[in-house]
Homo-oligomer: A and B are copies of this chain.
């Protein structure tokens, strides 16, 4: 039987369910499925070389996380989102990240966190200093940016705050991944804001850290919303989702 051989083909992992979940999340995040499109369980099962059971399990998890929407007897589809969604998300994020910065400044950073903090700030500075501006640099910047904020979240030392932040992180990431680059000016300002935030946290100024971080997130949100509105406009003019995104990003 062919299906037996599949199970022993690549690995000997105990449970493939989690693996499938990650794979699905990647598929969606990287844009293999456009927002609103329906996910065929059979198709996914075949693509991932497992049966429908673990696929369905993963789908229900992703739906609970808000990445997918579920309609009884109609299955799962990628959650569509509008610039309105992004606006609302960033309003919440500004509050939550502000809180994280406040707590981080109040509680102080561990030596390890301070080390990571400095390293990331320096790398970020190097990235915007150089003239190259290709996909690699762009992706690297995204990583550094995420890591910078992650240190603050961690330093806030509140698991539920982190959870709430992660919850609201999926969709913006989802939207950002479709832009191939950022403009340099935007990143330079972002870096400067990071430096200021860092200063406030390291000098233990909670309320200054909070307002700076909050403003920083809010501004990022404004930029993303503006870009996304342009994409929506193109879609309204008849372009399909993918081509609208690509033409704006390329």
Contacts and interface: CB of A to CB of B under 8 A. Distances in A.
A158 B91 contact: yes
Contacts of A160: 85, 88-89, 91-92, 168
A144 interface: no
Contacts of A72: 14-15, 17-18
A88 B62 CA distance: 25
Interface residues of A, number: 31
Contacts of A88: 158-161
A102 to B, nearest CB: 9
Given A56-B57, A60-B61, A164-B164, A15 B99 contact: no
Interface of A is mostly: helix
A65 B163 CA distance: 10
A215 interface: no
Interface in A1-50: 14-15, 17-18
Interface of A: 14-15, 17-18, 56-57, 60-66, 72-73, 85, 88-89, 91-92, 95-96, 99, 158-161, 163-164, 167-168
